[in-house]
Chains A and B, each alone.
Chain A
Amino acid sequence: MPKRTDLHRILLIGSGPIIIGQGAEFDYSGTQAAKALQEEGFEVILVNSNPATIMTDPEIADRTYIEPVTPEYVELIIAKERPDALLPTMGGQTALNVAMKLAELGVLEKYGVELIGADARAIAMAEDRKLFGEAMKRIGLAVPPGGIATTIDEAFDLLETTAFPAIIRPAFTLGGTGGGIAYNRQEFEEIIRRGLDLSPVSQVLVERSVIGWKEFELEVMRDCADNVVIVCSIENIDPMGVHTGDSITVAPAMTLTDREYQLMRDAAVAVIREIGVEAGGCNIQFAINPDDGEMLVIEMNPRVSRSSALASKATGFPIARIGTKLAVGYRLDEIPNDITGTTPASFEPVLDYVVVKCPRFAFEKFRAANPRLTTQMKSVGESMAIGRTFKEAFQKALRALETGRPGWTTATTLADDRLEDDSVETLRGALRQPTPERIFQVKRALSAGISVDELFELTGMDRWFLSQMKELLEAERAFASLKTIDKDVLWRMKRMGFADRQLADLRGESEAAARTRRLGFGVVPAYKMVDTCAGEFPSATPYLYSSYDEESEAPKSGKRSVVILGSGPNRIGQGVEFDYCCVRAALALRDRGYETIMINSNPETVSTDFDISDKLYFEPLTLEHVLDIVEREQPLGVIVQLGGQTPLKLTQGLEKAGVTILGTQPDSIDIAEDRKRFDAIARSLGIRQPDNGIATSLDEAVAAATRIGYPVLVRPSYVLGGRAMEIVYDEQSLRQYFERAARVSEDKPVLIDRFLEDAFEADVDAISDGERVVIGGVMQHIEDAGIHSGDSACVLPPYLIDEEHIDEMRQHTVALAKALNVVGLINVQYAIKDGLVYVLEVNPRASRTVPFVSKAIGVPLASIAARVMLGETLDEIGFTEEVIPAYISVKEAVFPFNKFREFDPILGPEMRSTGEVMGISDSFGSAFGKAQLAADNVLPAGGALFITVNDSDKHAVTPIARRFQEMGFKLFATGGTAKHLRGRGIPVETVLKIHEGRPNGIDMMLNGEVQLLINTPLGKESQRDDYTMRQAAIANHVAYTTTLSAANAACDAILSLRSRAPSVLSLQEWHARIPKEAGV
């Protein structure tokens, strides 16, 4: 059955912003899907609100709608584009739920749009917990005992069958959102309420806990002729009870005999058939009782997922790409295996290596959040590593997390391993309760002599994995006690995945000395290919990993090559936007005839797709691994400025080793980071900076702050995403801060700046070829100074900044780029206060706004940056003038506060957003409104507004209140604010503060009497009130804003919402409005 000829135009839905549980993997799947469809000659219509993705680049689809991924907007797109089919399985739960809603509303039927990949019936059967349970029963497969509840009472009834602990899983949510483990009635009720609330169909599954059972996943594909293949098996080291996204996982399964594996395989085949995924892929989770092998089916996702992205990278079998081809009618045997080029896709990949995936968490950003790992996913990113053995892959994957641990190594302090003291009892207690540090606690336990058997009892980790770890520990001990190191022993240690730094630490040497000795012995890694077939067939695709083995494959090609360093695991402050830049660079340079070599360790990304670069090295981004590759490839140079802090941190080491850094030189990067050197340059250029100082001790800090005057902004140098950055209002707070921050980075000084209160902030992205500097875009932040630029909404072009100040920022940017000899990208952050422009920060590298700006102006900045780094001039490329679009683009940040309910959603100088969305329109209000909608902050068209602001904001809130009142909003405010507003002629009802009694603001929110909340921090005395208020807003889906500037913008948006019907326009149509002579 070849390609369907009755379809011509296909709508592809993306997953929207990056949130916990729905990350960069959907950029990977969406991009693959779009490419696969275009390749087959289909017209691709794409919708996704996330500008930081490759999939929303204008050439990936025929028409790209950067619009909110909501039923309302997708319907508008359908009405306009009239696609023949909708592919809903590539955009995570978001796309699936929107597609289901459109089916339910009759929109698909009305416009004659067919769901392909998975139909509504199959999606419902997989996602609806009740239907799924019944389906499993029909095919004789067991699920954990339990049942479905749609009310609290029903849930409590189910406790009779499940008892405690009980597992709660809401229907139709992603990443286990709203789920959890309840050990008592109080927890149970809490989780049930939240679960019912978060499930779009108000349905939760309550089931008996099988915590501690072995956990497996299979990735399955089925074509329209009912052929089924299993792409990959994945085994979780952390057993049932920890979300698979938060587990350390291994592919292929390590501890199953063929008999058990085939039983699971048979079950998986039966499941995909019964659920009726007609043409596409799914992921099925199983639990196995470690004592007798009893097997239960846990759940099934009828779409591509985080696990399918991992499985694709782990096997070389591109699930999203193949799934797309299946959806348009192909059979598996009609699709070639792109890696071998000679065999068909109707086979099951075999691995001759071991893959380990490790989750990366962000609890350091959410100190109040509970770090206990449960069935609700909490990690923000992941690393993957490949080795020839489990031990090797395991250590590489932990290293690739970039959390400062070079492998499976315990921290120097107990606290960093999340232990309160060094007693064995504390350790045992910690091991029973999974946290991100448990894997390191296991090492402490083994060191303390706790047996593998006992550890199995405590953690549920299979004894095989624990024994592998024990072997690592024994090898370390033996190595540390050796008198001399010979080649043989070193070879064996390297084969177990030990980094030079680990070996150096074991013997009290420097990493450099360890490396020198290793190279002296000729102990170097071999590079092996991931080929889907364990070497059975020749493979044409150099997808490589290192291992200490004999034979290397895919030798140096002899072509002029360039190494691009990726950005590693996603984390807050370093997400998909940097992967975007790396991919653009790889594509641009390949196009210019260079051999492109990508190094990255993140399985979720487009950059680690094997067909993006000419060679892909799936390796940790550490100096050792990068130098080994550079040594082998002898490239023209290495690009470090596109992957965020990860490659930047390697720059000095690379330069020291004599590696050519392409583009802006390391010294310029150092100037930008070095306060003293930068001051000198700023002064010589006549550029104003806020008063500032550096401190390496508390005394220095106090002195500096006193000189500058409070409030001050303090932060450690060399940090990412405003890590540990705070605004400090007095000396006492400074002292408290300094204790905490000193721990964050010991040998780096703390920077102290005067904090410019109530200033406007702006970001400028520019590009320089060393001679000419062209402005990419000037973005005005919506939020005032003091909120991290990554967390602030911004607008391009600026809408409230005077033209003279914009010009001044442009001139400064050009001057700074020249002074720093920038070749490539530069980002400068400014503040404007009392008519004066200040430079806050200069980053001579790609910033996180590069993809947003590129989409706003229709110019691929990262591609151009890569080309200038290799010597082309902006003149030759044809990008010589700033593009100022005649429309408005707004970027808004998206936060994980819904996941970390216990955390205060207030914004500050430390970045906490996980993703971003973009709204484009011809007015600011409309663009901002779209961005809010896309960020799931649904602004009300009318209703009641509740205002509670601090004293200093009372004056500024008055005109905002008046605007809302004029729009017909009913106004409520707490005492002081109400009095102030009434005094200025604005009718407003007084509401009690929480501590003043009841009914108060929270009661009103719970009763649905408030549609919008404006709440600025009220200061210490009522912190608790504030916090509770914002929590209530989130829990009750009340739109809220915590800054007045955002409130003003919301007002614009609501005005626009009310004055015109929503409309959609594709990115290509917007770009067509840019005058031809501008841009490239």
Chain B
Amino acid sequence: MESESRITEPGFLLLEDGTLFRGRLASDSALLPAVAEVVFTTNMTGYQEVFTDPSYRGQIVVMTAPQIGNYGVNAEDPESSAPQVAGVVVRELSETYSSWRATNGLGAWLAASQVPIIQDVDTRRLTRHLRSVGVMRGVIGAGTEPDEASKLALEECPSMEGLDLASRVSTRERYSWGDPRARHHIVAYDYGIKRNILRLFDENDCRVTVVPADTSADAALAEDPDGIFLSNGPGDPDAVSYAPEIIRTLATKGVPIFGICLGHQLLGLTFGGSTSKMPYGHRGGNHPVKEVETGRVLITAQNHGFAVEGDEQSVKGASDLEVTHVNLNDRTIEGLRHRTLPVFGVQYHPEAAPGPHDARPLFQEFLSALKGAIR
């Protein structure tokens, strides 16, 4: 357990509709103003995974759990090489941490990656506001009142809609993950892939070739994959305009394809569906998802602000797709499958991290669909 010394300057979060939240900065004011879309997550554990999840790229994340930083940070839990979030808003950042696995404090770790953090904010008021009027852009600034520089930065911040962030977080070079002698070979399109997906493939006797988001179908097929994986990622799926064509080509070759989150949305778009921005998205580890076929309910990890349009009966505009999962809170589509091809996707995160492991068997399902798999 270590104690961290702390900056306690006043700071604020200003939303684009003018709503102001005051707090104290727990990071260097030189990082400010920081602007981005402000979203909240209800995960009660796993802040380190959240902050390193590439799907949170370009977002200021509000933790609804009020005590953050209690167990510090460690080397095993990050979902990518560094924090991805544009800023962090919490009710109380722990001054100390305690865990046998901890290697550093959260505050120091975020500071090292130049991520601004503001605490002492009435995060419940903020969450309720975002929930009732929808997520919007915001700016974290220093001082008690918004300054001109912050206001200007907020004005200039682009909307999440139409933003292709996936291309920005995608790997520039292809790379391999896992044991080269593994039974299966997966080519994973990286739109912002989480490490735990790679870890799970590895655990399931797969080696993964991670390729940039714009890798052509031919190049992917040249890797001779047993299956194609479409990863999660940030931003507006519609803006990843090059992806559907690639995916369609791969699918028509009969290669099994599995998409998670953004990957799932891109599958929807590929087969004629559409996506739209949700009022405040799903972010957390407690979303009930029903498997349409069996009626079983899974408690799932989620992190998305866009969704494939449709309902429990059908994917709007995509008659080749059938709906396999729905969210029980708002009845949005959580999973789909192609009627004839070995293609399926889920909106939620079976790899969890953070979140419950209920949906892990989905990986098995994909694996059993792979070429050469023992069924």
Contacts and interface: CB of A to CB of B under 8 A. Distances in A.
A265 B357 contact: yes
Interface in A340-358: 342-344, 346-354
A769 B8 CA distance: 59
Contact of A255 (B3, B21, B98): B98
A1014 B29 CA distance: 80
A227 B98 contact: no
A389 B66 contact: yes
A225 interface: yes
Given A257-B99, A262-B352, A347 B124 contact: no
Interface string B153-166: 00000000000000
A266 B1 CA distance: 28
Contacts of A471: 95
B67 A354 contact: yes
Contact of B42 (A331, A350, A354, A538): A350
A591 interface: no
Q: How large is the interface on B (under 10, 10 to 19, 20 to 34, 35 or more residues)?
A: 35 or more
A226 B127 contact: no
A145 interface: no
Per DSSP, chain A at the interface is: loop
Could you say which of B43, B65, B290, B299 has the most chain A C-beta atoms within 10 Å of its C-beta? B299
B212 interface: no
Interface string A261-272: 110011000000
A352 B64 contact: yes
A350 B284 contact: yes
Interface string A375-391: 00000000000001110
B65 A352 contact: yes
Contacts of A266: 357
B95 A537 contact: no
B248 interface: no
B1 A343 contact: no
Nearest to B295: A225
A975 interface: no
Nearest to A488: B10
Contacts of B258: none
A253 B99 CA distance: 13
Contacts of A138: none
B296 A227 contact: yes
B97 interface: yes
Contacts of A230: 299, 356
A549 B3 CA distance: 25
Interface in A433-469: 452-453, 462-464, 467
Contacts of B87: none
B131 A452 contact: no
A749 to B, nearest CB: 47
B355 interface: yes
Given A225-B295, A462-B98, A464-B70, A259 B42 contact: no
A550 B125 contact: yes
A528 interface: yes
Contacts of B99: 255, 257
Dominant secondary structure of chain B at its interface with chain A: loop
A343 B328 contact: yes
A464 B98 contact: yes
User: Which one of B1, B66, B99, B354 has the greatest number of beta carbons of chain A within 10 Å?
Assistant: B66
Nearest to B122: A550
Given A351-B44, A389-B91, A537-B329, A464 B1 contact: yes
Interface in A388-406: 388-390
B263 to A, nearest CB: 22
Contacts of B96: 463-464, 467
Interface in A501-557: 526, 528, 533-538, 549-551, 553
A371 B352 CA distance: 45
A135 interface: no
A257 B42 contact: no
Given A350-B286, A351-B44, A467 B131 contact: no
B281 to A, nearest CB: 10
A292 interface: yes
Given A352-B65, A389-B66, A256 B45 contact: yes
A342 B297 CA distance: 17
Nearest to A288: B100
B80 interface: no
Given A265-B356, A536-B127, A463 B98 contact: yes
A909 interface: no
A612 B288 CA distance: 28
B287 interface: yes
Given A352-B124, A463-B98, A551-B122, A389 B67 contact: yes
Contact of B45 (A261, A290, A390, A464): A261
A580 B136 CA distance: 48
B71 A252 contact: no
Interface string B270-307: 00000000001000111110100001110100000000
A293 interface: yes
Q: Which of A226, A262, A293, A533 has the most CB of B within 10 A?
A: A262
A338 to B, nearest CB: 15
Contact of A347 (B49, B91, B125, B287): B287
Nearest to A351: B44
A999 B89 CA distance: 77
Given A229-B299, A350-B286, A463 B1 contact: yes
B100 A293 contact: yes
Contacts of B297: 225, 227, 331-333, 346
Contacts of A362: none
A350 B355 contact: no
A467 B4 CA distance: 12
A804 interface: no
Given A258-B353, A346-B297, A347-B288, A352 B70 contact: no
B71 A351 contact: no
Nearest to A551: B125
Interface string B97-133: 1111100000000000000000000111101100110
B94 interface: yes
Contacts of B280: 536
B131 to A, nearest CB: 6
Nearest to B73: A257
B173 to A, nearest CB: 29
Interface in A320-349: 331-333, 342-344, 346-349
Q: Identify which of B45, B127, B328 gathers the most chain A CB atoms within 10 Å of its CB.
A: B45
Given A227-B297, A550-B122, A258 B98 contact: no
A352 B122 contact: no
A265 B66 CA distance: 21
A257 B46 contact: yes
Contacts of A342: 329
Contacts of A226: 296
A291 interface: yes
Contact of A452 (B1, B71, B128, B290): B1
A672 interface: no
B76 interface: yes
Nearest to A262: B357
B74 interface: yes
Given A225-B296, A350-B44, A344 B288 contact: yes
B295 A535 contact: no
Interface string A945-971: 000000000000000000000000000
Contacts of B132: 538
12 contacts: A230-B299, A259-B353, A261-B46, A343-B329, A350-B64, A352-B42, A352-B124, A354-B66, A471-B95, A535-B64, A536-B280, A549-B125
Given A342-B329, A535-B40, A535-B127, 7 more contacts: A257-B45, A265-B356, A343-B328, A350-B42, A528-B124, A536-B42, A551-B124
A-B pairs with lowest CB-CB distance, top 4:
A258-B46, A258-B354, A551-B125, A534-B64
Interface of A: 225-227, 229-230, 252-259, 261-262, 265-266, 290-293, 331-333, 342-344, 346-354, 388-390, 452-453, 462-464, 467, 471, 526, 528, 533-538, 549-551, 553
